[in-house]
Amino acid sequence: MILGLRDIGLREEYRSDRDDIVAEFFFPCLSNCIEYDRCVDFLSIQTLATIAMTFENFSSGKAKLRMITGHRFKTRELGILTKLFSEKYTKKFDGKLIKDSKIQKLQDLINNGQIELKVAITNSEDVAGSFSERIGLFLDKDDQIVAFVGTSKESFSTQTLDFESVDVFTSWNDKSRVDRKRKDFEELWENKTKYVEVYDFLFAEQSGLLKFSSEWAYDI
Protein backbone atom coordinates (compact mmCIF):
# COMPACT_ATOMS: atom_id res chain seq x y z
CA MET A 1 0.00 0.00 0.00
CA ILE A 2 1.30 3.45 -0.95
CA LEU A 3 1.36 5.91 1.94
CA GLY A 4 1.36 9.70 1.91
CA LEU A 5 4.72 11.31 2.61
CA ARG A 6 3.27 12.76 5.82
CA ASP A 7 2.65 9.23 7.08
CA ILE A 8 6.29 8.16 6.92
CA GLY A 9 7.40 10.05 10.03
CA LEU A 10 10.34 11.92 8.54
CA ARG A 11 12.95 13.77 10.57
CA GLU A 12 14.50 17.17 9.82
CA GLU A 13 18.00 15.73 9.42
CA TYR A 14 19.63 12.39 8.69
CA ARG A 15 23.32 11.88 9.45
CA SER A 16 25.55 8.89 8.81
CA ASP A 17 26.74 8.51 12.41
CA ARG A 18 23.23 7.86 13.72
CA ASP A 19 20.96 7.08 10.74
CA ASP A 20 20.76 4.75 7.77
CA ILE A 21 20.04 7.50 5.23
CA VAL A 22 19.13 5.13 2.41
CA ALA A 23 16.87 2.80 4.41
CA GLU A 24 15.27 5.45 6.64
CA PHE A 25 14.89 8.34 4.19
CA PHE A 26 15.45 7.61 0.50
CA PHE A 27 13.70 4.28 0.14
CA PRO A 28 10.54 5.22 2.12
CA CYS A 29 10.16 8.45 0.12
CA LEU A 30 10.82 6.73 -3.21
CA SER A 31 8.35 3.97 -2.43
CA ASN A 32 5.55 6.40 -1.57
CA CYS A 33 5.84 9.23 -4.08
CA ILE A 34 4.45 9.73 -7.57
CA GLU A 35 7.22 12.05 -8.76
CA TYR A 36 10.89 12.41 -7.89
CA ASP A 37 12.84 15.46 -9.10
CA ARG A 38 16.58 15.28 -8.56
CA CYS A 39 19.77 17.24 -9.25
CA VAL A 40 22.97 15.22 -8.93
CA ASP A 41 26.51 15.83 -10.16
CA PHE A 42 27.21 12.23 -11.28
CA LEU A 43 24.82 9.59 -12.57
CA SER A 44 25.16 5.84 -12.93
CA ILE A 45 23.06 3.06 -14.43
CA GLN A 46 22.88 1.49 -10.98
CA THR A 47 21.35 4.63 -9.52
CA LEU A 48 18.70 4.89 -12.23
CA ALA A 49 17.83 1.19 -12.02
CA THR A 50 17.57 1.25 -8.22
CA ILE A 51 15.26 4.26 -8.29
CA ALA A 52 13.10 2.61 -10.95
CA MET A 53 12.79 -0.64 -9.00
CA THR A 54 11.98 1.22 -5.76
CA PHE A 55 9.10 3.19 -7.26
CA GLU A 56 6.49 0.57 -6.38
CA ASN A 57 3.79 2.39 -8.30
CA PHE A 58 5.82 2.81 -11.51
CA SER A 59 4.11 -0.26 -12.92
CA SER A 60 0.76 1.54 -12.74
CA GLY A 61 2.07 4.25 -15.04
CA LYS A 62 1.64 7.06 -12.51
CA ALA A 63 5.11 7.79 -11.17
CA LYS A 64 7.81 9.84 -12.86
CA LEU A 65 11.48 10.67 -12.42
CA ARG A 66 13.03 13.90 -13.70
CA MET A 67 16.78 14.06 -13.23
CA ILE A 68 19.34 16.76 -13.97
CA THR A 69 22.97 15.70 -13.83
CA GLY A 70 26.39 17.13 -14.52
CA HIS A 71 28.07 16.40 -17.84
CA ARG A 72 30.75 13.90 -16.78
CA PHE A 73 30.16 10.19 -17.31
CA LYS A 74 32.14 6.98 -17.24
CA THR A 75 32.75 5.78 -20.78
CA ARG A 76 30.85 2.49 -20.55
CA GLU A 77 28.01 4.09 -18.59
CA LEU A 78 27.62 6.80 -21.21
CA GLY A 79 27.33 4.18 -23.92
CA ILE A 80 24.52 2.34 -22.14
CA LEU A 81 22.71 5.55 -21.17
CA THR A 82 22.80 6.66 -24.80
CA LYS A 83 21.23 3.37 -25.89
CA LEU A 84 18.63 3.53 -23.11
CA PHE A 85 17.48 7.02 -24.05
CA SER A 86 17.60 6.48 -27.81
CA GLU A 87 14.11 6.43 -29.25
CA LYS A 88 12.48 3.07 -28.57
CA TYR A 89 15.77 1.18 -28.26
CA THR A 90 14.76 -2.44 -27.68
CA LYS A 91 17.90 -4.52 -28.14
CA LYS A 92 18.64 -6.68 -25.10
CA PHE A 93 21.67 -5.79 -22.99
CA ASP A 94 24.37 -8.28 -22.00
CA GLY A 95 23.89 -7.70 -18.26
CA LYS A 96 27.53 -7.03 -17.41
CA LEU A 97 26.67 -3.96 -15.30
CA ILE A 98 23.31 -5.03 -13.93
CA LYS A 99 20.87 -7.93 -14.19
CA ASP A 100 18.87 -8.10 -17.40
CA SER A 101 15.54 -7.91 -15.55
CA LYS A 102 16.47 -4.56 -13.97
CA ILE A 103 17.85 -3.04 -17.15
CA GLN A 104 14.75 -4.15 -19.04
CA LYS A 105 12.51 -2.57 -16.40
CA LEU A 106 14.51 0.64 -16.71
CA GLN A 107 14.22 0.55 -20.52
CA ASP A 108 10.46 0.04 -20.35
CA LEU A 109 10.03 3.04 -18.06
CA ILE A 110 12.16 5.27 -20.26
CA ASN A 111 10.23 4.22 -23.36
CA ASN A 112 7.01 4.96 -21.47
CA GLY A 113 8.16 8.53 -20.79
CA GLN A 114 8.37 8.02 -17.03
CA ILE A 115 12.08 8.80 -16.77
CA GLU A 116 13.52 12.00 -18.24
CA LEU A 117 17.16 13.03 -18.09
CA LYS A 118 18.76 16.42 -18.68
CA VAL A 119 22.33 17.63 -18.42
CA ALA A 120 23.45 20.93 -16.86
CA ILE A 121 26.67 22.59 -18.02
CA THR A 122 28.12 25.77 -16.55
CA ASN A 123 28.47 28.60 -19.08
CA SER A 124 30.23 31.42 -17.26
CA GLU A 125 33.79 32.27 -16.25
CA ASP A 126 32.33 33.26 -12.90
CA VAL A 127 31.53 29.61 -12.12
CA ALA A 128 34.45 27.23 -11.70
CA GLY A 129 34.09 23.52 -12.30
CA SER A 130 30.97 21.60 -13.26
CA PHE A 131 27.34 21.51 -12.18
CA SER A 132 27.00 20.24 -8.59
CA GLU A 133 23.55 21.30 -7.35
CA ARG A 134 22.40 19.02 -4.53
CA ILE A 135 18.64 19.20 -4.22
CA GLY A 136 15.82 16.70 -4.52
CA LEU A 137 12.04 16.74 -4.22
CA PHE A 138 9.47 13.99 -3.68
CA LEU A 139 5.80 14.62 -4.55
CA ASP A 140 3.02 12.31 -3.34
CA LYS A 141 -0.56 11.59 -4.41
CA ASP A 142 -1.88 14.26 -2.01
CA ASP A 143 0.36 17.00 -3.52
CA GLN A 144 2.56 17.03 -0.42
CA ILE A 145 6.26 17.60 -1.07
CA VAL A 146 9.47 16.62 0.70
CA ALA A 147 12.57 18.56 -0.33
CA PHE A 148 16.13 17.76 0.72
CA VAL A 149 19.68 19.05 0.34
CA GLY A 150 23.05 17.83 1.41
CA THR A 151 24.04 14.71 -0.49
CA SER A 152 25.74 14.54 -3.87
CA LYS A 153 26.32 10.81 -4.33
CA GLU A 154 23.31 8.63 -4.97
CA SER A 155 24.41 5.09 -5.76
CA PHE A 156 22.40 3.56 -2.88
CA SER A 157 25.29 1.15 -2.41
CA THR A 158 25.60 -0.53 0.99
CA GLN A 159 29.24 -1.36 0.30
CA THR A 160 30.60 2.15 -0.36
CA LEU A 161 29.00 4.34 2.28
CA ASP A 162 29.89 8.03 2.55
CA PHE A 163 29.79 10.05 5.75
CA GLU A 164 27.18 12.67 5.01
CA SER A 165 24.08 14.45 6.25
CA VAL A 166 20.76 15.31 4.61
CA ASP A 167 18.57 18.26 5.62
CA VAL A 168 14.85 17.66 5.02
CA PHE A 169 12.05 20.18 4.50
CA THR A 170 8.37 19.34 4.16
CA SER A 171 5.48 21.22 2.61
CA TRP A 172 3.41 20.80 5.78
CA ASN A 173 6.08 22.20 8.12
CA ASP A 174 8.22 24.50 5.95
CA LYS A 175 6.18 25.39 2.88
CA SER A 176 8.08 28.55 1.90
CA ARG A 177 11.41 26.75 1.75
CA VAL A 178 9.94 23.80 -0.14
CA ASP A 179 8.35 26.22 -2.62
CA ARG A 180 11.74 27.85 -3.22
CA LYS A 181 13.41 24.50 -3.84
CA ARG A 182 10.65 23.48 -6.23
CA LYS A 183 10.95 26.79 -8.09
CA ASP A 184 14.73 26.33 -8.31
CA PHE A 185 14.31 22.89 -9.86
CA GLU A 186 11.61 23.98 -12.31
CA GLU A 187 13.75 26.89 -13.51
CA LEU A 188 16.67 24.54 -14.04
CA TRP A 189 14.46 22.07 -15.89
CA GLU A 190 13.19 24.84 -18.19
CA ASN A 191 16.74 26.20 -18.71
CA LYS A 192 15.97 29.51 -17.00
CA THR A 193 18.85 29.54 -14.51
CA LYS A 194 21.78 31.95 -14.63
CA TYR A 195 25.28 30.53 -15.23
CA VAL A 196 24.17 27.11 -16.53
CA GLU A 197 22.73 25.70 -19.74
CA VAL A 198 20.42 22.69 -19.42
CA TYR A 199 20.05 20.29 -22.33
CA ASP A 200 18.14 17.12 -23.07
CA PHE A 201 20.57 14.23 -22.51
CA LEU A 202 20.48 12.89 -26.07
CA PHE A 203 20.93 16.36 -27.55
CA ALA A 204 23.96 16.95 -25.30
CA GLU A 205 25.45 13.58 -26.26
CA GLN A 206 24.85 14.03 -29.98
CA SER A 207 26.25 17.57 -29.84
CA GLY A 208 29.50 16.46 -28.21
CA LEU A 209 28.86 18.39 -25.01
CA LEU A 210 29.54 15.52 -22.60
CA LYS A 211 32.85 14.56 -21.03
CA PHE A 212 33.66 10.93 -20.44
CA SER A 213 36.43 8.87 -18.90
CA SER A 214 37.00 5.38 -17.57
CA GLU A 215 38.28 6.85 -14.30
CA TRP A 216 36.25 9.63 -12.68
CA ALA A 217 36.92 10.45 -9.02
CA TYR A 218 33.55 9.03 -7.98
CA ASP A 219 33.19 5.26 -8.15
CA ILE A 220 29.52 5.07 -9.07
User: What's the domain count of the chain?
Assistant: 1
The pLDDT of residue 217 is 47
Q: How many helices (H) and strands (E) does the chain have?
A: 7, 10
**Containing structural domain, residue 85:** 5-213
The pLDDT of residue 34 is 92
Determine how many CB atoms are found less than 10 A away from the CB of residue 89.
13
* Per-residue pLDDT of the chain in tens (220 residues, 90 and over written 9): 778 999 999 999 998 888 888 889 998 998 899 999 999 888 888 888 888 777 766 666 678 999 999 998 888 888 889 989 986 555 555 555 445 677 778 888 888 889 999 999 988 666 666 788 889 999 999 999 999 997 655 555 555 566 788 999 999 999 999 999 999 999 999 999 999 999 999 999 999 998 876 655 444 3
The pLDDT of residue 207 is 92
Position 219 in a domain:
no
Looking at residue 166, the DSSP 8-state letter turns out to be: E
Which candidate, 125, 167, 131, 169, places its Cα nearest to that of 147?
169
Do the Cβ atoms of 167 and 149 come closer than 8 Å?
yes
Cα 71 from chain centre: 14
Instruction: Name every residue whose Cβ is closer than 8 Å to that of residue 60 and which is 6 or more positions away in sequence.
Output: none
Q: Which phi and psi (to 5°) does residue 158 adopt?
A: -90, -5
Position 14 in a domain:
yes
The pLDDT of residue 139 is 96
Position 218 in a domain:
no
Which candidate, 40, 13, 49, 6, places its Cα nearest to that of 138?
6
Position 157 in a domain:
yes
Instruction: Look up the CATH number of the domain holding residue 22.
Output: 3.30.870.10
Position 32 in a domain:
yes
Indicate whether this model's pTM tops 0.75. yes
Position 38 in a domain:
yes
